[in-house]
Structure 1
Amino acid sequence: MARPLRALIFGRFQPFHLGHLKVTKWALEKFDELVLLVGMANESHTVLNPFTAGERIWMMREALKDEGVDLSRIITATVPTMSVYVGHAFYIINLVPKVDSIITRNPVIAQVFHDAGLEVIAPPEFDRNLYRGSYIRKLMLEDGNWRELVPKKVAAIIDEIGGVERLKKAASRD
């Protein structure tokens, strides 16, 4: 039995937004399975990283399930905060099931994973100016319309965990 064609998508997913969803669905058209790797998994309750790794995985899975994605094609994993260099790329590659490619638009991530031997695929941009975690978190802090930029299930989870209030408390400490 042949191993499935598998790609890695590495991100913080703070929060999982419609851009992430579009990239994931785009990638599922090209690969049998995806590894969604949650970076900075040991950080939470800050302005940069307000959500825990578990919450981010929950957001991803609920949003994908709501979109009809077969979750048997999705593998989730986490990695703690680390500097970006080729040695850590090898470390990450060994944390997850064997992958053929990494899907990223980040030039530094692309270079280190390329140097580690992975094929690098840049996905379409999918309204990158709108779909940025930093912009969505800014809208949350300003009581802006962040909900239109995340899947409905993600908004519901953020509400359930008091995510906006958490972010505002974190901002008041920074």
Structure 2
Amino acid sequence: MSHIKVELKKEDVAKLKEICKSFNNQPGELINVLHKAQTHFGYLPAEVQEVVAQELNISEAKVYGVVTFYSFFTMIPKGQHPISICTGTACYVRGAEKVVDEFKRRLNINVGETTPDGKFSISCLRCVGACGLAPVVTVGEKVYGRVSPDGVADILKEYE
């Protein structure tokens, strides 16, 4: 996957510095800093990681290593309507894989990607804690239970 260059505005850099300062620019607070930065920007592009590394006085490689190690961090911008499909055991045995395939087919993207118009992105989760409703899909904060491949079109129509 190629890297898309992101031009950080002065306000963006100032916000990152403020986030780092809120944790006293302590290298041991890297994960907390990254969480706040991702909440603000929606993802953690290389340019954000570079500023964080400078402010915490650690290597960019260390920041990148943490971002790529933990699954809750992402370097890819999420869509306006992020779709997450639970693939935990209960959802998997009730057909989650077919639901994933149908979202991929209809949106013409793979898991971890965002549609070219920035409207949708797809990710898989291990468990959302609603096993009785398996398979479960979330779009943003909205939860859909007992989703079948046939129900994918109806879910997408709600956001078009």
TM-score by length of 1: 0.25
Higher RCO (CA < 8 A, seq sep 6+): 1
TM-score by length of 2: 0.26
Return the index of the structure with the highest Cα Rg.
2
